[in-house]
Structure formats: structure tokens, C-alpha cells
Structure 1
Amino acid sequence: MKKKWQISRRKMLKGVGAAIALPVLEAMASPLNLKTFGDTGFPVRSVFMFMPNGVHPDRWTPQGLGRNFEISPTLEPLKHLKDDILVLGQLMNRHSIFQGADGHYAKTANLLTCMQIQKTAGDNINSGGISVDQIIADHFKNDTLFPSLEYGLDRIATGVDINVGFTRLYASSISWKNATTPLSKEIDPRLAFDRLFKPFVPGNDTQENPHKKSILDAVMDDAKSLKNNLGRSDQDKLEEYLESIRSIEKRINNQANIKDFSSKITPDIKKELIRVNQSIDEYVEVYAGVDVTEKTRLMFDIMALALWSDASRVITFMYGNSVSNRNFSFLDGVSGAHHSISHHMNHPKKMDEYDRITKWHIEQYGYLLDKLKSIKEGDRTLLDNSMVMFASGLRDGNRHSPRDLPIVVGGHGGGKIKSGQNLIFEENTPLANLYTSWLQTVGIEQEKFADSTRALTEIMA
């Protein structure tokens, strides 16, 4: 039975014409600085993409090292982008291994923090620290309309996975403002698009800034009522959440910021806004489990627009929550759901299905890279001025192995990254070494991140 103090995870604060989702609360659970630019004169954009459930371990790694490598079967959709990617082998998120941490959750929530999460079946979640994307977001927060954007395909998971004793809240976020504050993701293409671009779509009925009237002012009565029914910890968490929204609203409503952002909406961007807006209008999500290719690509179109217009320079995207069991029967040769198939027990048919599912994810990743590569920035492209990571928190879903993680980084980091290579590092090299290099590439002078031991100078120009 639901207790008086318990509220639904889908609870919204509502007011006249406005609604905002709540952060994770206890009551929801049961028990442009030039030195930062590359040599292109444009800012370096960062995208971190997560795929659940690992990969076929024998079909992922390319043959050959350095620039003399052959694309592997799984990475075949990226063959035409070979010179634009780095395939990185033998990286490991060391803190994803600790006593009682078998399974997916300890290898997902800390993908971008590289710290040990706190094992809990409750809501006292802790990722161990701030995620690398949020360090970058904080660095650029005064240069863009949004410090960061968090996107995905699945809503937040709740409850407890009794098989491993972890709360499913760890399944839903890879972006952490701090150790105890995950950033929830937007999963609806229409809401994601309108939040960024609604006033700038040519022919739109209103050109008024959608944030001109404070969302918080509209929902404050509801917030006060909710607060009276929360415990002290939840009250503090709600206050912190509302204040963070207020801070973003102040930034968005600053006329200088709006004018600066408006100046970046070029005629070419407006054309793309019209196309994407129309595509979203035509898109209908009928029910869960259908072909999500169109939805994924709509989200990627929005991400490309956000980076192109400099609405934000940092984006995370989750193809699915940890332990995702999305049904991929819409793919030829696949009959079943992702997590179930990932426990293939070395059965040839299941392993083939497993690889086909991974290849679909890689195809979508390639779609985004192609999109960024098609956008000119000076004499280069948006992909030249970006770093786009594709990763899973484990190697093989059948063994839950966090060693030799499947990682690809697309883009050239503003000319600072030596792409077009397959690199195999020393066994169990900290994943945090990649993030240390990443921070330095975007212009953040930081010698160490989490458990890093050095920067990966092999990838840096």
C-alpha cells in the first residue's frame, strides 16, 4: 500500500500552463574563451553516448593498430568514417568492480564519474563524484544558453533489482551534477526541440521567449504544498532543484544571452529548424517496443542543432537505461529483447542477434557523425570541432565484464585529436585517463580526473 508520504515518480509540479518534472526524492522510492577553442577558431563540443548491455566480444575490436587497421564487423557502419574515429581498447572503469557489485548498475551510473557508487536499494544514491560532462558544462556555463543537455530514449527506472540489490535509479543517469544529484534526461523529441528552438522556427505563431514567464512562478503553489508533505532531506533536495531551475531561467531570460543566441540562428540553421520541426510533427510514437530508429534520429537531429547553434557544448545521450530489455524484433534476424539476448551463453544464434543489435546502435551513432560532418564551420566541419564518445559500461553482457570496454570517439576535437586510429592500451588502463585527455582538449587545465594516472597522449595532436 502506498503510504501518505510516498509520491509517484511521474509526479509533476503544475501551474497555469506549466509543468516541471521533479528530481529524485526519497518520497518517490520504496525501502567563449579563445584559449578553449581548437585551431579552427570554433569551440570544441562534447557528446557522451551510452549503450546498455555490452557487445559481441569477438566482433568489436578491429584488426591492426594505429592508422593501419581494418574496421571490425560490428563497426562496419562506420567504415566511411574511418578517418574520423578513434577505437580505444583495454580501457577499464576500475571502480565498477567492488564487493557485491555484480551486474550492470555499478558499471553504468559511474560511466562518466569513474568513481565507486554506493550500493543501496533505497534512494540514498551516490555516484562517487561529479561526472566529466558536468565539469565541462560548468566551465562553459557563461558562454552558452544551456550549460548541458541530457537526452535519452527511456524514462527513469524505479524500484529495486532484487537480483543484485541495487536501486534502479542507478540505471537511468550517467550525468551527475555532484555525487548525489543525477541529471534527469529529456526523452520526448517535441519537448526537447521546443525547449531550445520554438521561438526561432520561421512561421511560428509566437516569437515570444518561452521562458519569459517563470515556470517556477507558475508552479510555486503546487511546490509549496508538496514541500509540506516531504521530509527534511527531500525538502532540501527540492529547494536545491528549484534553485537550479531558477538559475537557468535567469540565464535564459538575460536579454544579452538571448540576443547572442539569436545571432547564431543563421539562415541555414533556420532551414534545418523547419525540417526537424516538421519531422517531429509527423512522428508518432505508438507504443513501447516498436522501431525506435526514427525517434533516435530525431533526437540526434536536435542534438546536432544544439551544437551547431551553440545552445550548448555538452550533451549526454542514453540509448536505453542500464539492463534495458528493449525489444529489437524490428531488426532483420532478431527475435527478442536486448538484455535477454545479451546473456547469450555463447549460443551462436543469440550471439548473432546480439551483434545485430549493437550494429543498429552503431548505425545511429554513424548517423549523428554524418550529420555533424555535413555542417560547415569555417573551412572545416562541426565534426572536426567535436568529440563524440560511444561507449558501454561493460564489454560482454554475458559475463558482465568491465574490462576492455567498447569505446569509440568520433571527431577531431578542434584539431587536437589524432583520429583515424585503432589504439590498444596497456591492459586495465583507467577509463579516467581518456577523460583527463578530454578535459585538456576542451581547454580545462586539469592534470587528473578521478583515478586517472595520465593523459592519453597517444590520441592528442
Structure 2
Amino acid sequence: MKKKWQISRRKMLKGMGACIALPYLEAMAIPRIPFGQSDNFPVRSAFLFMPNGVHPDKWTPEKYGTNFTLSPILQPLEAFQQELLILGELMNKNSTIEGVDGHYARTANILTSMPIEKTIGDNIHSGGVSIDQVIAGKIGHNTLFPSLEYGLDRIRTGVDTNVGYTQLYASSISWKTPTQPLSKEIDPRLAFERLFKNYIPGKKIQEDPWKKSILDMVMDDAQSLKNNLGRSDQDKLEEYLESIRSIEKRIVNEENKEKFEANITDDIKKELTRVDLRIEEYAEMYEGVDVTEKTRLMLDIMALAFWSDASRVSTFMFGNSVSGRNFSFLDGVSGGHHSISHHMNHPDKMEEYLKINIWHIEQYAYFLDKLKSIKEGDGNLLDNSMIMFASGLRDGNRHSPYNLPVLVAGKGGGKLKTGQNLQFNKNTPLANLYLSMLQSMNFDVNSFGDSTGILSEIHK
């Protein structure tokens, strides 16, 4: 509990239109309270999506409970075994409805746990609001950005005529409303500057981004366009502009701006400089096939966003559904991800599939290591996070949505009992995990999607 003499470490001196951050004072010290029994630090949530499933025989560790040995795919997580939950036999039931496609209907709803609307038009419908946006809706007002959506692939448009689905369903896992997917940023430079361009040491300070609305610059053009659209498109354009207004309203919140600026410590500035230089080097290189550096830059930016409290919720897509990314930059792999996932149990293809899976887990481990390296109170940023990794398929060859590959790392502020490999009853709803996450954040919710209860085994 905060005492009367205590002041926030974000306290600013204000007057005559200026504000000055205070140095660290003893009055800012947080009383020592047993970890997990305090709301001193916010809980951050990230949801990382991998397309095309996993090698089905190389994912699940031997033995269950706390005394388990990591499987071949999960070996890169050895240093995080005590911060990890491996959750077996979870299923996204509404992705298994008879007649649905093997990819699109198991991607767009991975975070909503509801059935999508089969369509080739613009009447898209994810069945519900995604878990990240439920969290953002409850805590997003505390930060500059309610949530951040990142990825590696551009949004796809058009129709997959093979299965009769719009390809928009392949590109989004974050849904603000059932009919409004959130677009993701895939360029590290744009993602970085959107958050930090005015705080990079040695860089020329740009015009205050909070002073001017981007809508002011495009409103005349938007109005002209709107006058030439039909009623349906007018509504869609207005909904789009309103989403921009909503974000800008959060940004111009002076209190949130001051909180954010006060959080840009010397340690964060050093990291900003390091990441900025890496982005410059990356931009000067031929991008080519190898996306490892791009992936790690995006994950670094996510970590910085959590560290600086620019946002507490993020999603990241390693690839769109049906991703055919060329993984020939890995030794022993040739060809595209999607075609390799249809391995037909051929030993050579299975080995390539395994190597692609391991690469994804290595990037997940990289992100966890970054969070764990950032000190926060008596613990670290990973202690105060819930970082999910999942795919909408178990085995890409069979498009199997049963026993999904699902991981959660981080202690959730002391609420999660990590260091476990758990096997639940067959076909346990994936939504039960989401409900557990919401309740661990003290949200007053009793259901999510098709949930039937919480996963009590993961709670302390």
C-alpha cells in the first residue's frame, strides 16, 4: 500500500508550460512486499503466433508436472524452464466446425475462440473480440498506446479460391470488434519511430507528435472521398477515422504523455541508441530471405514498449496463415514453410519442418531473455508478464486443431505457477487459458469465448 509520504517515480515538476523529471528520491521507493502480492508493477501481455503448426512428435516433453525434460523443439527454452508453462490438449473448438478451411478458420479466431464467418467479401466476422483487445480495453487508458500489433508479413487481400475465404483472415489475429481487425506494423523503422523518435539520444528532436492530429491534415480529402462513397463504405471510412481518433485521444492525454516521458530512463536511452543503430544497419543491408534480424528488431521494440510503459499489450505474427516463407537461410532447409508443413510423413521433410519450428522457438527465447534481462523491483520484466506462443494447428500436414502447441512464459506478476508441463483433459477449450489470464489480472470476468472454466493448475 502506498504511504502518505510516498510519491510516484513518475512525478514531474510542472509550470509555465514546462515539465521536468525528478531524480530518484527515497520517497519514490516501493515498500518491500512479498512478490506476487503487490500491484506495484503492471502485468504485460504478449501473444505470439506461428503459422503452419509443429512437428507433432517433437513438441511435447517427456513426463508431466514439474520434473520434465524439454522436447527437441523446445530445447532453446532450457534457460527459461522455470518460467514456462507447456499446456497440452487445448483445442480451439470453434475452429473445428465441419466444412471450415484448415488455415483461415484456425488463424483469425486464435485469440477470439469463436467461429468466423466464411466469406469471400468484406463482411468479415471473427466471432468476437480478441483476448488482447479485451485486455487493452480494460487497461489501455493507462498507456500511450492501448495495444501494439506487429508482424513480418503484409496484410493480404483478395480471395483464396481454393477454399472460398477472403485472405484477410490469414493476416490478423487481433480484433477490436468482431468486424474490425487491427492492422499490424511490419517495418522495424516505422514501429520504432512511432514510439521513440523524439527520445533517441543524439537525434534531432522532431515536432511534438502530440500537438498535431494526422486527421487535421487529411480531413478535407477524407470528406471529399466520403461524399463519393456509398452508405456502407461511408460507414466503414468513418469507423476507420474514429479508430485513429481514439488512438490520438490516448496519445494527447497529457498525464499519459508525462508518465511515458518520465519512464525514459538512462538505461532505456542506451537501449534506444543500440536498437536505432541496429535498425540503420539492417536498412543498409540487402534484406534477402533471412528474417532473423528483422524478427529480433521487432521483438526488441516490443520489449522497449513494455519497459517504457508505452503499451502493456502486444501481438506478433511470425507469418500470415498459409505462409510460404522461404526458410532456406536455415542449414538443411529448402523451400517454403507451408509446403514443408505438408510433409506427408516424409523423413526429409519432417526434419526440415523440425528445424523451422526450432527457429521460431529460438526467437521466442530471444524475447524472453530480453524481458528477463530488464530489472524491475526485486524481479524482472518477465516476472511481470504473460507471454503466449501458439499456433492454430498441431500438425500442418493434417491441419489438426487438436492438442494445440501452446506455451505461456512469465509469472504474471506472481499469479502464475510456472515451471510445469501440463496435460489437460482432451479438447479442453483454449478459451479457458484466456479466462485464466484475465482473472489473474483481477478482471471481473466469468467467461471468454467458449470457455468452460479456468485452468486452475496454472494459478498460485
CA shift digits 1:145-193 (9 cap, x unpaired): 1100000000001111111111100000000011100000000101101
CA shift digits 1:247-267 (9 cap, x unpaired): 221221222221121111111
Q: Cα distance, 1:82 vs. partner?
A: 0.7
Q: TM-score, normalised by structure 1?
A: 0.90
Q: Any conservation in 1 of the 2:49–2:390 contact (CA below 8 Å)?
A: yes
Q: Does 1:272 align with 2:271?
A: yes
Matches within 5 A, 1:225-236: 225-236=224-235
Q: Does 1:283 align with 2:282?
A: yes
Provide the C-alpha distance between the structure 1 equivalents of 2:228 and 2:96, rounded to a whole number of angstroms.
Answer: 38
The residue aligned with 1:212 is 211
The residue aligned with 1:312 is 311
Matches within 5 A, 1:121-160: 121-160=120-159
CA shift digits 1:424-451 (9 cap, x unpaired): 0000000000000000112212111111
Out of 216-225 and 261-270, give the one that drifted further. 216-225
Q: Any conservation in 2 of the 1:103–1:164 contact (CA below 8 Å)?
A: no
AA aligned opposite 2:184: K
CA shift digits 1:223-243 (9 cap, x unpaired): 223223332112111111111
CA shift digits 1:323-348 (9 cap, x unpaired): 00000000001011100000000000
Q: Cα distance, 1:420 vs. partner?
A: 0.6
Q: Does 1:63 align with 2:62?
A: yes
Q: Any conservation in 2 of the 1:134–1:175 contact (CA below 8 Å)?
A: yes
Which of residues 15, 39, 50 in structure 1 aligns to 2:37?
A: 39
CA shift digits 1:55-94 (9 cap, x unpaired): 0000000001110100000011111111111110000000
Q: TM-score, normalised by structure 2?
A: 0.90
User: Residues 458 and 338 of structure 1: is their aligned pair in 2 closer, same or farther, counting only changes over 3 Å?
Assistant: same
Q: Any conservation in 1 of the 2:53–2:393 contact (CA below 8 Å)?
A: yes
AA aligned opposite 1:262: E
Provide the C-alpha distance between the structure 2 equivalents of 1:287 and 1:281, rounded to a whole number of angstroms.
Answer: 12
Q: Cα distance, 1:313 vs. partner?
A: 0.6
Out of 224-233 and 103-112, give the one that drifted further. 224-233
Q: Any conservation in 1 of the 2:140–2:312 contact (CA below 8 Å)?
A: no
Provide the C-alpha distance between the structure 2 equivalents of 1:341 and 1:187, rounded to a whole number of angstroms.
Answer: 24
User: Residues 276 and 314 of structure 1: is their aligned pair in 2 closer, same or farther, counting only changes over 3 Å?
Assistant: same
Q: Cα distance, 1:122 vs. partner?
A: 1.1
Provide the C-alpha distance between the structure 2 equivalents of 1:38 and 1:273, rounded to a whole number of angstroms.
Answer: 30
RMSD: 1.3
AA aligned opposite 1:39: Q
The residue aligned with 1:117 is 116
- Report the 3-state secondary structure (helix = DSSP H, G, I; strand = E; otherwise coil) of the residue aligned with 1:428: strand
Q: Any conservation in 2 of the 1:289–1:327 contact (CA below 8 Å)?
A: no
Q: Any conservation in 2 of the 1:200–1:207 contact (CA below 8 Å)?
A: no
Q: Cα distance, 1:222 vs. partner?
A: 2.4
User: Residues 42 and 292 of structure 1: is their aligned pair in 2 closer, same or farther, counting only changes over 3 Å?
Assistant: same
Provide the C-alpha distance between the structure 2 equivalents of 1:390 and 1:125, rounded to a whole number of angstroms.
Answer: 25
Out of 226-235 and 295-304, give the one that drifted further. 226-235
- Report the 3-state secondary structure (helix = DSSP H, G, I; strand = E; otherwise coil) of the residue aligned with 1:142: helix
Q: Any conservation in 1 of the 2:436–2:455 contact (CA below 8 Å)?
A: yes
Q: Cα distance, 1:38 vs. partner?
A: 4.6
Provide the C-alpha distance between the structure 1 equivalents of 2:57 and 2:373, rounded to a whole number of angstroms.
Answer: 32
AA aligned opposite 2:65: G
Q: Any conservation in 1 of the 2:383–2:413 contact (CA below 8 Å)?
A: yes
- Report the 3-state secondary structure (helix = DSSP H, G, I; strand = E; otherwise coil) of the residue aligned with 1:413: coil
Out of 118-127 and 197-206, give the one that drifted further. 197-206
Q: Any conservation in 2 of the 1:148–1:313 contact (CA below 8 Å)?
A: yes
Percent identity reads 71
Provide the C-alpha distance between the structure 1 equivalents of 2:377 and 2:329, rounded to a whole number of angstroms.
Answer: 40
Q: Which runs of 5+ in 2 are unaligned?
A: 1-34
Q: Does 1:77 align with 2:102?
A: no
Q: Which runs of 5+ in 1 are unaligned?
A: 1-36
Provide the C-alpha distance between the structure 1 equivalents of 2:283 and 2:261, rounded to a whole number of angstroms.
Answer: 30
Q: Cα distance, 1:286 vs. partner?
A: 6.4
Provide the C-alpha distance between the structure 2 equivalents of 1:272 and 1:287, rounded to a whole number of angstroms.
Answer: 24
Provide the C-alpha distance between the structure 2 equivalents of 1:50 and 1:252, rounded to a whole number of angstroms.
Answer: 27
Q: Any conservation in 2 of the 1:289–1:326 contact (CA below 8 Å)?
A: no
Provide the C-alpha distance between the structure 2 equivalents of 1:451 and 1:113, rounded to a whole number of angstroms.
Answer: 9
Provide the C-alpha distance between the structure 2 equivalents of 1:288 and 1:226, rounded to a whole number of angstroms.
Answer: 36
Q: Any conservation in 1 of the 2:54–2:396 contact (CA below 8 Å)?
A: yes
Matches within 5 A, 1:40-439: 40=38, 41-206=40-205, 208-284=207-283, 290-439=289-438
Provide the C-alpha distance between the structure 1 equivalents of 2:444 and 2:253, rounded to a whole number of angstroms.
Answer: 29
